[in-house]
Amino acid sequence: MTEWFEQWFGEEYHALYPHRDEEDARRAVDLIRGVVRWSAGDRILDLACGPGRHAAALERLGGRVVGFDLSRAMLRRARERTRVGLVRGDMRALPFRDGSFALAVNLFTSFGYFLSDDEHRRVVHQVAAALASGGHFVLDYLNAELVRRTVQLSQEAEGRAGTDDRRTEVRVTRRIGQGGRFVIKEIELRDEGRRFEERVRLYSPDELAALLMDSGLHVVAQFGDYDGTRLGPDAPRVILVAARS
Ligand SMILES: C[S@@+](CC[C@H](N)C(=O)[O-])C[C@H]1O[C@@H](n2cnc3c(N)ncnc32)[C@H](O)[C@@H]1O
């Protein structure tokens, strides 16, 4: 069975989220740089790098960046943007040597996509193993509490979709499902008669911290947005910086 994240992260996704741009990525990377130091020879993993906007920003600050992603379309975009190493694969089976990265980042809710918590645990476990001793992992996630409060049953929006930049009518519907554990977004490209689904596990900050702890990572800093906002119930993001013990 094809999973939702194998279908959705193609050109349509890219066209629908134009505001998630390089400026946004630069802010995220600046925030990380304020907490984590690395030197030019250090390896940095951008896990689920998408179109490479963070990988490009990290590379500009020095470090040998590797972008990892499942989507061929995203990796093609990343290649247009940056010369960093790019590897295609599934984050549930990372192909990297133990202890080989000084820093790993997973940004803009690129986690929580699987049905079982065991799969998520496996991902974090492998990331932790890929970090050198004293290495850091930055997880930038949705704020589950805020999502639960703000989900509207039917939200219609007009967006630009498609590879040729023409406008197409998009209907987005969000709901909480599967026993309250996931936020499920249905994206319908009406002109094309196509539908996609996005399904993300609603992990609270404490649950994320516990997942990290399970793999020997402890949280050393936390933020509620890329500008360094405090983490709280109304914060747009949950950004955890964890260190390998
Ligand atoms: C929300 S996008 C964010 C991309 C990028 N971090 C950014 O902020 O631009 C999530 C990314 O996760 C990737 N992805 C989804 N499932 C994956 C998996 N099982 N293994 C590796 N990458 C995956 C998608 O292809 C997509 O590029």
Convert 153-167 into a string of H (helix), E (strand) and C (coil).
CCEEEEEECCCCCCE
Amino acid letter, 7? Q
- 160 Cβ neighbours under 8 A, 6+ residues apart: 15, 16, 18, 166, 167, 168
Alpha-carbon distance of 115 to 199, in angstroms, equals: 9
Alpha-carbon distance of 96 to 21, in angstroms, equals: 28
Give the binding-site residues of ligand 1, using a 6 Å CB cut-off. 5, 9, 20, 48-51, 53, 69-71, 74, 90-91, 107-110, 113
What is the phi/psi pair of residue 92, to 5°? -75, -10
Write the pLDDT tens digit of every residue in 64-119: 999 999 999 999 999 999 999 999 999 999 999 999 999 999 999 999 999 999 99
- Residue 93 Cα to ligand 1 middle (Å): 14
- Residue 236 Cα to ligand 1 middle (Å): 19
Query: Among 146, 225, 198, which residue's Cα sits nearest to residue 16?
Result: 198
Alpha-carbon distance of 155 to 48, in angstroms, equals: 27
Q: What are the residue boundaries of the structural domains of the chain, listed by start?
A: 4-143+204-244, 146-199
Look at the domain 4-143+204-244 and name its fold.
Answer: Rossmann fold (3.40.50)
Query: Among 188, 184, 154, which residue's Cα sits nearest to residue 168?
Result: 188
| Cα-to-chain-centroid distance, residue 151 | 20
Write the pLDDT tens digit of every residue in 127-183: 999 999 999 999 999 999 999 999 865 556 666 555 455 567 888 889 999 999 999
Alpha-carbon distance of 159 to 213, in angstroms, equals: 39
